[in-house]
Chains A and B, each alone.
Chain A
Amino acid sequence: SQTIHQWPATLVQPVGSPLSLECTVEGTSNPNLYWYRQAAGRGLQLLFYSVGIGQISSEVPQNLSASRPQDRQFILSSKKLLLSDSGFYLCAWTPGQTLYEQYFGPGTRLTVT
């Protein structure tokens, strides 16, 4: 069976510090991978998605970036965090050939102070 991991689970970082959030998927190959951000109790904002190694599509221009160094690894980064980067970050994957099923990781709660 497939599983998706995210870490860390929670993170408190000062303004201006760097960020690295990691997501890995097990039990599947060539998944589509996604990063979302969620404000408290609201819907999900798509940040980045990737359909293959090294292929990144950005949806929202901001100070965040994403990378996919391996088939089942997706990383969200920032060089300098802003207060507005606080939120709940979710990684998700889908089987490459379908848009019907999306599976989410447990999320990372980021607080920028």
Chain B
Amino acid sequence: TQLLEQSPQFLSIQEGENLTVYCNSSSVFSSLQWYRQEPGEGPVLLVTVVTGGEVKKLKRLTFQFGDARKDSSLHITAAQPGDTGLYLCAGDGGTYKYIFGTGTRLKVLA
């Protein structure tokens, strides 16, 4: 069974701090996505990584796919209150299916 474990589960930081969220599995994924979800809304796709070792940047967010394609990280530089939300990673589970991570709830305090 493919599982994606995210850590930490909860994170509360002050505005301006840096943080890293991890998404780990014992399985290999051909692609991995990161989403952010606001309360009461659907997740919104942030990025997709498909190549081992790939690094993508989205403004203050940096995403990395592990060399072995079993893990990924999301690093936020100088966090802002607008970054608050639930961050979810998801990997292809084969045959049109996605496996979602356990989620990291981030709160950035002004």
For A45, what are the chain B residues with a Cβ–Cβ distance below 8 Å? 100
When chains A and B are docked, how far (Å) is the Cα of A100 from the Cα of B97? 11
Instruction: Establish whether residues A106 and B105, one from each chain, have CB atoms under 8 Å apart when the complex forms.
Output: no
Q: Confirm or deny: B74 has a beta carbon within 8 angstroms of a beta carbon on chain A.
A: no
Count: A-B pairs, CB below 8 Å? 62
Q: Which residue of B lies closest to A100 (CB)?
A: B48
In the complex, residue of chain A having the shortest beta-carbon distance to the beta carbon of B30: A99
Contacts of A102 in B (CB 8 A): 33, 45, 90, 98
Contact B103 A41 (CB under 8 A): yes
* Contact between A104 and B43, CB atoms less than 8 A apart: yes
B-side interface size class: 20 to 34
Cα-based distance from A21 to B42 in the complex (angstroms): 15
The answer to whether B45 and A101 touch across the interface, beta carbons within 8 angstroms, is: yes
- Shortest C-beta distance, B49 to chain A (Å), equals 9
A24 CB contacts on chain B under 8 angstroms = none
B: which residues have CB within 8 A of A? 4, 6, 30-31, 33, 35, 40-45, 48, 50, 86, 88, 90, 92-93, 96-103, 105
Residue numbers of A with Cβ under 8 A of B are 32, 34, 36, 41-46, 49, 51, 57, 59, 90, 92, 94, 99-107, 109
